Amino acid sequence: MIISEGLLGQSIINEEASSLENVDLLQLPALDNQSLLKSYNQPQKNQALRFAEPRDINITHSKNGSWESTKSGTTIWRQRIQSPNAFSINLGFTKFKLQPGVSLIIYNKSKTEVIGPFTHLDNDDHLQLWTPMISGQEIVLELQGTAKAIQKSKLELSRLNHDFSNFVNKSSSGSCNLDVICGEEDGWGIVDNYRDII
């Protein structure tokens, strides 16, 4: 998995696809960042500082999003998601199992930051995937592959974490610190431990 910025990140995105304006958008209700900051700026003893608000959603490629085929024969599925006022966003997939030949990338609307590509090599027994933070209030999910392989893949997005404190820009954390949702291989619990942080 790669976190890319600028031209390198944009090269991963399939530019044969139509404009993002043609892609389905899930717009969540706006959150008040200042109210959230006031609520969480003084954590209780032995509690970690909270910088993001968890939001439950349900997105699957079988029920949501926009499909298209490119001239080169690649099938693309995309879904836009917006959490208004978020400084950055990270995602929790509770079902994640890609078929060989399918890749998932996640990027912000301006395409200045790209996460991925995730492939079948990122599949794990727990069938979950938690992503790093990506700047901005709107992100795009993009699956690339053959139509058959994409349809056989499992992808269910159940959690979006809304950064209300601009934590990513304030933090100098490493590749797996508070600003990143990490997997078991990094020594973090998949879901429950992170809930304690945010």
State which residues form the domain around 106: 3-197
pLDDT in tens, 69-94: 999 899 999 999 999 999 999 999 99
Q: pLDDT-based confidence at 38, cuts 50/70/90?
A: confident
The SS3 assignment for 6 reads: helix
Summarize pLDDT for 95-115 with one digit per residue, the tens: 999 999 999 999 999 999 999
Q: What is the distance between the alpha carbons of residues 159 and 11, in angstroms, rounded to a whole number?
A: 27
Sign of the alpha-carbon torsion through 184, 186, 191, 192: positive
What is the residue type of 172? S
Beta bridge partners of 96: 155
Please give the tally of structural domains in the chain: 1
Q: What does the pLDDT look like over 123-172, one tens digit per residue? A: 999 999 999 999 999 999 999 999 999 999 999 999 999 999 997 776 54
Rounded-to-integer distance, Cα 188 and Cα 182, Å = 6
β strands within the chain, DSSP E: 3-5, 25-27, 52-60, 66-69, 75-82, 88-97, 103-108, 113-118, 129-130, 134-135, 138-145, 154-163
